[in-house]
Amino acid sequence: MTDGSKRKDMINTFTMNIMKTKITLLAVVLFLGFQVAHAQQNEECMTKLSIFSEYAKAKNYDAAYEPWMYVRTTCPKLHKAIYSQGEDILEHKIDKASGAEKVNFINDLVKLYKERQANFASDSPSGEFETKSCQLQYDNRDVLGLSDLELYNCFDAAFKADKENFTNPKSLYTYFSLMVDLYDAKTKTAGELFDKYDDVSEKIQTEIGNYSEKLNVIIEKEEAGTALTRKESSYQRSYESYLKAYDQVSSAVDKKLGDRANCENLIPLYEKGFEENKNNAQWLQRAAGKMSEKECTDDPMFFKLVNAYHKISPSANSAYYLGILKDKEGKTNEALSFYEQAVGLETDNFKKARLNEKIGDKLKGKGRYGSAREYYMKSLKLNPSNGRPHLRIAAMYSSSANDCGDSNFNKRAVFWLAADEAEKAGRVDPTLKSVAAQTAASYRGNAPQKQEIFQSGKSGEKISVGCWIGRTITVPKI
């Protein structure tokens, strides 16, 4: 290689190194500039987050709107408050707006729910936030111009996608109410209506079971005489509130269904679908359950459903339905044997408690009060936050007062026992506080009054009550 070629290569190499250095320096400058810009942007977002959050806490939503929108669009992953407080801000805007502006804000809140799911997925289950979106659209259906079918499809998609987190009591009712309206409009079939009733009812019962289980822990502690912590008292109020809401929704769903699910409609529907579904355990269980619930158990179709169900899927439910059949035949002891089998097969304590309560109801209806009380007590042991068994026991005491005392005073003293039992219902069950208080007051009104206690000379004494009751009553001191 000549000296000239060597010099030329050296110059080229030197030039390339200078270019690489310039490019590297430019990249560093650009990166640092980006970092500075990003840091400045983050600082701006943090400042505006603080501003809109303080305004939102003070319910000054109009002032919060502009800084909130900046953070929402610029730094959507910065903080969950963008979505929790943003919901409050947009709800305020919706309430104050009208016409096209109202529609825009509604649509923006629907969009916000989706943005939350995208940016904070772990804290934003679709069953909760898609349901919120559907409920918002339902509550504003007139201004949005949405049809019942469009709204139903919205709820249905949310329910099917994430049933576990579709828990809002109001939305469960809305979902079913839309199905009934579509059935009445002949858009949905009777089969679809009854299936959806079962879906929603089972979901409600699942939630009642979940909250009852949580409340039972607190009630057992309270009944044992242990003081609750402030946190436990707060939880207790929350659980009671949810149980009351689900109880109201359960009644509302049944009322909305009304007599659409009567024997006249159910029997031909199940006769038509039996061959196709005779190996479908869920279909058989729901059909038999609906016929039992609606007192269609005298029809041969019920017998057919129960036997098919028990054959392919022996379970607590199928055993219980076989017990109903034996009851219909007047074979009480065989019926009780199947009922006991049902309890033994059930593994879920909440459902087992319900079975014991149902057996108690059947025995009470036959006048077998002592046995009925045994089953009610078993039910209460499994689910102490259910007050219904207490009221049933109180009613049996009341109706037996005339038969279980050896004097007029002692007979009427049984009403104190009935009143005490009724009051227990109100203490443990938030859904029964009012009716329990009224029932207990009625029983106390039938018990001996102060003047009669004074004249009897039994103030503070204990009275033993015989027959099936077998309890001791303490006369109130005067």
Domains annotated for the chain, with CATH where assigned, are 144-261 (no CATH), 279-345 (1.25.40), 351-478 (1.25.40.10)
Residue 223 confidence (pLDDT): 84
Confidence of residue 4 (pLDDT cuts 50, 70, 90): low
pLDDT digits (tens, 9 = 90+) for 184-242: 999 999 999 999 999 999 999 999 999 999 999 999 998 888 999 999 999 999 999 99
Closest CA to 371 of 333, 423, 398: 333
* Phi, psi for residue 471 in degrees, rounded to 5: -125, 165
What whole-number distance in Å separates Cα of residue 426 and Cα of residue 315?
33
Burial of 248 (0-12, 13-18, 19+ CB in 10 A): middle
What whole-number distance in Å separates Cα of residue 174 and Cα of residue 354?
26
Q: What average pLDDT does the structure give for the chain? A: 91
pLDDT digits (tens, 9 = 90+) for 280-312: 999 999 999 999 999 999 999 999 999 999 999
Task: Taking residues 72-82, report their average pLDDT.
Answer: 96
- Tell which phi-psi region holds residue 384, choosing left (phi > 0), alpha (psi between -120 and 50) or beta: alpha
Structure tokens given for 418: 């009935």
Residue 23 confidence (pLDDT): 44
What whole-number distance in Å separates Cα of residue 137 and Cα of residue 154?
9
Residue 389 confidence (pLDDT): 98
Task: Taking residues 318-326, report their average pLDDT.
Answer: 93
Question: Is it the case that residue 36 has pLDDT exceeding 80?
Answer: no
Question: What pTM was computed for the model?
Answer: 0.82
Contact, 121 vs 113, CB < 8 A? no
pLDDT digits (tens, 9 = 90+) for 450-459: 999 998 888 8
pLDDT digits (tens, 9 = 90+) for 353-382: 999 999 999 999 999 999 999 999 999 999
Confidence of residue 16 (pLDDT cuts 50, 70, 90): low
What whole-number distance in Å separates Cα of residue 282 and Cα of residue 288?
10
- What share of the chain in percent tops pLDDT 90? 86
What whole-number distance in Å separates Cα of residue 389 and Cα of residue 364?
11
Amino acid found at 403: D
Residue 478 confidence (pLDDT): 79
- What share of the chain in percent tops pLDDT 70? 91
Question: Is it the case that residue 27 has pLDDT exceeding 50?
Answer: no
Confidence of residue 42 (pLDDT cuts 50, 70, 90): confident
Residue 405 confidence (pLDDT): 80
Residues 6+ away with beta carbon under 8 Å from 141: 151
What whole-number distance in Å separates Cα of residue 384 and Cα of residue 223?
10
Residue 458 confidence (pLDDT): 87
Residues 6+ away with beta carbon under 8 Å from 377: 389
Residue 35 confidence (pLDDT): 43
Mean pLDDT is highest, among 146-160, 396-410, 464-478, for 146-160
Q: Which residue is listed with tokens 């009480």?
A: 332
- Residue with more model confidence, 109 or 224: 109
3-state SS string for the chain:
CCHHHHHHHHHHHHHHHHHHHHHHHHHHHHHHHHHHHHHHHHHHHHHHHHHHHHHHHCCCHHHHHHHHHHHHHHCCCCCCHHHHHHHHHHHHHHHHCCHHHHHHHHHHHHHHHHHHHHHCHHHCCHHHHHHHHHHHHHHCHHHHCCCHHHHHHHHHHHHHHCHHHCCCHHHHHHHHHHHHHHHHCCCCCHHHHHHHHHHHHHHHHHHHHHHHHHHHHHHHHHHCCCCCCHHHHHHHHHHHHHHHHHHHHHHHHHHHHHHHCCHHHHHHHHHHHHHHHCCCHHHHHHHHHHHHHCCCCCCHHHHHHHHHHHHHCCCHHHHHHHHHHHHHCCCHHHHHHHHHHHHHHCCCHHHHHHHHHHHHHHHHHCCCHHHHHHHHHHHHHHCCCCCHHHHHHHHHHHHHCCCCCCCHHHHHHHHHHHHHHHHHHHHHCHHHHHHHHHHHHHHHHHCCCHHHHHHHCCCCCEEEECCCCCEEEECCCC
Residue 169 confidence (pLDDT): 97
